[in-house]
């Protein structure tokens, strides 16, 4: 494959829009699939995605815009998926072309509800994509800061180093630095779990806990994450690296965080439904909480924070009471 290969981005939300922006710094052509036809037309005419990161201006001559997922995937050697995990299976029912030989890149930070698998495992088991052709684009990075060209660090995980380097070259620019790793499982689980911890941070904030408690919560969260990932996939990894701890911190502390925002509303007394309706964006942590909780039944990692968030979101327990109990389990 060439140094700058053919890439397709699947999704029309904030993260897909940010990824297309990163790629457009290097590639002369990018295929971009989104299901929303009127958004596509708006990009063609006004050069902006009207719904997400609308300040970003695109050169449409660089874009092969389509609302046919098959066209985008047929074109590409590398396919970057950036739609929320809850909608991936539905989107893939429209797929009629083969994924054979393509590098599948997950930029999704979630578990596929239908299979309870992280995205790479889902593509491996459901679509027979070999692990060598699966990559993960992750790291502490908010789409909104990409739009502002604020310096951000990504991690590209892939067992085939050559593919990781190609993706890393394609997204790097004066505001993006990317490093590579072969931990395709651990980086994905970290991205899933940090969303749940960010929901917990938001709930705590909504309940009136302060910065001191948040620091304690984060300190417990990274230890809980380490234990969970170790049970699921044992390998030598440094949990303090930016793809694990870094991502947890940005999501837990940033005001841009969808998951923290969602949690904050829950802490303030919103129901799950009303909090979701209030946001134009998806908080992956809501779905991840159920999947991680269920998954952990087979692993038995000690996860008091995940359990507390699960009790609140799925068993309708009072956040105040659940957090009071949780505070007794943290140190
Ligand atoms: N936003 C970020 O900063 C960021 C950073 C890293 C990773 N991610 C990950 O990227 C993925 C996409 O998140 P996002 O932030 O771009 O989402 P978003 O909340 O900005 O946008 C929601 C997206 O979901 C789509 N959608 C809504 N309902 C749908 C349905 N019924 N069927 C199909 N699609 C539907 C919308 O069209 C839109 O593309 C998530 O897994 C997220 O964790 C996001
Ligand atoms: O912080 P959130 O909840 O918006 O998630 C976005 C990204 O995963 C941050 O790296």
**How far apart, in Å, do the first and last CA atoms of the chain sit?**
50
Residue 24 lies in a domain: yes
Across the range 299-325, mean pLDDT stands at 98
Query: Which of 154, 182, 210 is the last residue before a domain boundary?
Result: 182
CA proximity to 248, closest of 277, 212, 207, 214: 214
Residue 2 lies in a domain: no
CA proximity to 107, closest of 133, 86, 84, 136: 136
Residues 183-222 pLDDT 10s: 999 999 999 999 999 999 999 999 999 999 999 999 999 9
Residue 187 lies in a domain: no
Residue 188 lies in a domain: no
Residue 8 pLDDT greater than 70, yes or no: yes
Q: Whose CA is nearest to atom 1 of ligand 1?
A: 15
Of all residues in the chain, what percent carry a pLDDT higher than 90?
A: 97
pLDDT band at 28 (very low <50, low <70, confident <90, very high): very high
Ligand of minimum distance to the alpha carbon of 140: 2
Q: Computed over its alpha carbons, how large is the radius of gyration of the chain?
A: 19
State the burial class of residue 57 (Cβ atoms within 10 Å of its Cβ: 0-12, 13-18, 19+): exposed
Q: Whose CA is nearest to atom 40 of ligand 1?
A: 84
Ligand of minimum distance to the alpha carbon of 139: 2
Number of domains in the chain: 2
Q: Is 267 a known ligand-binding residue?
A: no
Which residues are the active-site residues? Answer: 194
Helix-then-strand count for the chain, H and E = 15, 10
> What is the pLDDT, as a whole number, of residue 325?
98
Domain CATH code at residue 113: 3.40.50.720
| Domain range enclosing 110 | 7-182
Of all residues in the chain, what percent carry a pLDDT higher than 70?
A: 99
ipTM metric: 0.96
- Asked if 109 contacts 195 with a C-beta cutoff of 8 angstroms, the reply is yes
Same-domain status, 163 and 286: no
Our answer on whether the CB atom of 194 is closer than 6 Å to any ligand 2 atom is no
Q: Is 247 a known ligand-binding residue?
A: yes
Same-domain status, 31 and 152: yes
Same-domain status, 88 and 11: yes
Residue 211 lies in a domain: yes
Query: Which atom of ligand 1 approaches the CA of 12 most closely?
Result: 39
Our answer on whether the CB atom of 20 is closer than 6 Å to any ligand 1 atom is no
CA dist 44 to 11, 65, 88, Å?
16, 8, 25
pTM for the whole structure: 0.96
H/E element, 177: strand 176-181
Same-domain status, 149 and 245: no
Bridge partners of 136?
106, 157
> What is the pLDDT, as a whole number, of residue 3?
61
Domain CATH code at residue 217: 1.10.1040.10
Our answer on whether the CB atom of 257 is closer than 6 Å to any ligand 2 atom is yes
Residues 248-289 pLDDT 10s: 999 999 988 999 999 999 999 999 999 999 997 899 999 999
- Our measurement of the distance from residue 92's CA atom to the centroid of its chain's CA atoms, rounded to an integer in Å, reads 18
> What is the pLDDT, as a whole number, of residue 1?
45
């Amino acid at each position: 494959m060439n140094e700058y290969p053919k890439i397709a981005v699947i999704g029309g939300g904030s993260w897909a829009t940010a990824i297309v922006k990163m790629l457009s710094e290097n590639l002369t052509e990018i295929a971009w699939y989104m299901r929303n036809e009127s958004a596509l037309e708006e990009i063609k005419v006004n050069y902006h995605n009207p719904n997400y990161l609308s300040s970003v201006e695109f050169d449409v001559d660089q874009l092969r815009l389509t609302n046919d997922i098959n066209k985008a995937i047929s074109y590409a050697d590398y396919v970057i998926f950036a739609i929320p995990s809850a909608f991936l299976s539905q989107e893939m029912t429209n797929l009629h072309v083969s994924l054979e030989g393509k590098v599948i890149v997950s930029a999704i930070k979630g578990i596929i509800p239908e299979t309870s698998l992280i995205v790479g495992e889902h593509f491996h088991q459901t679509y027979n994509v070999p692990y060598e052709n699966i990559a993960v684009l992750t790291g502490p990075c908010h789409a909104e800061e990409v739009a502002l060209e604020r310096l951000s660090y990504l991690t590209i995980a892939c067992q085939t180093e050559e593919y990781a380097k190609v993706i890393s070259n394609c997204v790097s620019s004066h505001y993006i630095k990317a490093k590579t790793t072969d931990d395709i499982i651990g980086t994905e689980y970290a991205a899933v779990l940090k969303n749940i911890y960010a929901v917990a941070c938001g709930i705590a904030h909504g309940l009136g806990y302060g910065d001191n408690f948040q620091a304690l919560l984060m300190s417990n969260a990274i230890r809980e994450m380490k234990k969970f990932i170790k049970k699921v996939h044992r390998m030598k990894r440094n949990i303090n690296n930016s793809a694990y701890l870094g991502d947890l911190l940005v999501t837990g502390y940033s005001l841009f965080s969808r998951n923290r925002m969602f949690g904050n509303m829950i802490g303030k007394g919103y129901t799950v439904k009303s909090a979701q309706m209030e946001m134009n964006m998806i908080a992956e942590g809501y779905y991840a909480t159920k999947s991680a909780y269920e998954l952990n039944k087979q692993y038995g990692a000690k996860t008091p924070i995940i359990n507390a968030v699960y009790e609140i979101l799925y068993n309708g327990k009072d956040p105040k009471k659940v957090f009071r109990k949780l505070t007794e389990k943290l140190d």
